[in-house]
Amino acid sequence: MDAHRKQLIALAHPVYFSLLASVAAGIINTVWVSRLGGAAVAAVAVATNTENVLLGVALVFASGTTVLVAHARGARDPGAVRSAVHGGWALCAAVTPVVVVGGLLLREPLARLVLGGGDGAAVPLACGYFAVSLPGVAVFFAQQLVDGILKGTGDTRTPMRLALLANGLILAVDPLLIHFHGVRGAAASTVLCRCAALAVGLVALRRNALLRAARAVPAAEPVPAALRRTLATGLPMSADFTVRQAGALVLVAIVARIGVTAVAAYAIAYKVMYGATMAFYAVRQAASIHTAHTRGEGRDARRAIGRQAVLVSGTVGLAASALLALTAPWVMAAFGAGPAVAHDGVLFLRCVGPYLLLMACFIALGGVFEGSGGAPALLRVTLAGTAVQLPLAWALAGLGLPGVCLALASAMAVQCAAVAVLLRRAGVQDETGVSLVRAA
């Protein structure tokens, strides 16, 4: 097996299980809260979707720190490792109070906005959930940063274990606290269990050999400079994630033009597709870590890593496409979809294969750009792809969900072609630079 492929798989599979565990937290809360009624479920759904947005904020310092630590590790520069860690914590400390205080002040308008501005029981329940969960954002952000630091050192297994620990505790504690405190109990359970996982994560940081060696040397740069470097590295990654989330939200509105049945089918199908898309993002993180590490060592292996990342992620995408097409009727039946919703859902899952395959390739290549400092270029490609996708989906919505699938696949093909060109140009430039050095 190719060495790069072996390393990508080794890094990616713990990340995949971490992502699955993170999704499980929202599912666990929803299952237990569902016994309190529809208003309670709606309140928790609002809070869960808000946390997805906050994850984009956390990427600024978490992913930025991952790349910088991995690069310093490859360069065998403990001072740079220490600076990267300092920059990550400093940025996290600067962002967290703004998010927590702003969220607490705006929690009621936010709940009314998402819930349609009604005065029903769901709004006060959502505000009650936010009153507990928003201070807990400090724990959530710190946990994301701990995971990012550990991933940068090449350890993706510990973050997986921490995610499993947190969600295992939530599974045990949720029923008790929800029984006594309702929706607020669900929020308290999540925060308390994450506190336990964070404590274990901080111990893991103390025991990490690379970080222990970095603490013994002076930092390579002052904390303000390290903060700016982390911000510059992580901000394009965060913006890329945010653009994708916003595009997905607008796409739901476009699907709504087709009808309520189409929206229901699309929502179910998209949840099912998470099993595949999270695998793509796991490969993306692995490619980012591995690329940053090799760049730190002074090697430019972007094209080789990119090929292997596409091979691994594309294989998963192809397998997922075939599996979803084959099992689509049973999948929709498992969600209890009615005949009309099931029909549309099966049609979507059988048409979405090309998009999934192209998405697998694009997401995987994105990790190479992030790890090599090319995230701003990747963000421009994402913006261009979204600008193509949404008008095209609007125009093709008259064809039903197959038209939406065609728009998704077409936009993703444009993005894949763009990153392939960028990666080829980067390889040519680096080869020219090496030739000039050798000639000199």
SS (H, E, C) the chain: CCHHHHHHHHHHHHHHHHHHHHHHHHHHHHHHHHHHCHHHHHHHHHHHHHHHHHHHHHHHHHHHHHHHHHHHHHCCCHHHHHHHHHHHHHHHHHHHHHHHHHHHHCHHHHHHHHCCCCCCCHHHHHHHHHHHHCCCHHHHHHHHHHHHHHHHCCCCHHHHHHHHHHHHHHHHHHHHHHHHHHHHHHHHHHHHHHHHHHHHHHHHHHHCHHHHHHCCCCCCCCHHHHHHHHHHHHHHHHHHHHHHHHHHHHHHHHHHCCCHHHHHHHHHHHHHHHHHHHHHHHHHHHHHHHHHHHHHCCCCCHHHHHHHHHHHHHHHHHHHHHHHHHHHHHHHHHCCCCHHHHHHHHHHHHHCHHHHHHHHHHHHHHHHHHHCCCHHHHHHHHHHHHHHHHHHHHHHHHHCHHHHHHHHHHHHHHHHHHHHHHHHHHHHHHHHHHHHHHHC
> What is the C-alpha to C-alpha distance for residues 270 and 272, in angstroms, rounded to an integer?
5
pLDDT at residue number 250: 83
User: Which amino acid would we find at residue 98?
Assistant: V
pLDDT at residue number 433: 35
pLDDT at residue number 272: 83
Distance of CA 102 to the CA centre of its chain: 23
Query: Residue 350 CB: number of other CB atoms within 10 A?
Result: 17
Cα–Cα separations (whole angstroms), residue 163 to 15, 60, 175: 10, 20, 19
pLDDT at residue number 128: 86
| Per-residue model confidence as pLDDT tens digits over 213-263 | 999 999 999 999 999 999 999 999 888 888 887 888 788 778 888 887 888
User: Which amino acid would we find at residue 233?
Assistant: T
- Tokens found for residue 389: 């996708």
pLDDT at residue number 209: 93
Cα–Cα separations (whole angstroms), residue 145 to 86, 115, 135, 209: 11, 31, 17, 18
Is-contact 368 430, C-beta < 8 A? Answer: no
| Per-residue model confidence as pLDDT tens digits over 22-79 | 776 666 666 777 677 767 777 776 776 677 778 888 989 999 999 999 999 999 999 9
Is-contact 85 257, C-beta < 8 A? Answer: no
- Identify the residue with better confidence: 181 or 64: 64
Is-contact 401 409, C-beta < 8 A? Answer: no
Nearest to 285 by CA among 77, 49, 10: 10
Q: What is the mean pLDDT of the chain?
A: 86
What is the pTM assigned to this prediction?
0.86
pLDDT at residue number 431: 43
Residue 100 reports pLDDT greater than 80: yes
User: Which amino acid would we find at residue 192?
Assistant: L
Is-contact 294 301, C-beta < 8 A? Answer: yes
pLDDT above 70 coverage of the chain, percent: 91
- Tokens found for residue 256: 């709504």
What is the pLDDT averaged over residues 182-198?
Answer: 90
User: Which amino acid would we find at residue 200?
Assistant: V
Residue 156 reports pLDDT greater than 90: yes
pLDDT at residue number 375: 86
User: Which amino acid would we find at residue 279?
Assistant: A
- Tokens found for residue 232: 């510059």
Task: Please enumerate in sequence order all residues whose Cβ is within 8 A of that of 246, keeping only pairs 6 or more positions apart, or say none.
Answer: 386
Is-contact 245 52, C-beta < 8 A? Answer: yes
Conformational region of residue 218, where left means phi above 0, alpha means psi within -120 to 50, and beta covers everything else: beta
CA angle 168–237–374, rounded 5-degree value = 135
Nearest to 167 by CA among 146, 194, 187, 135: 194
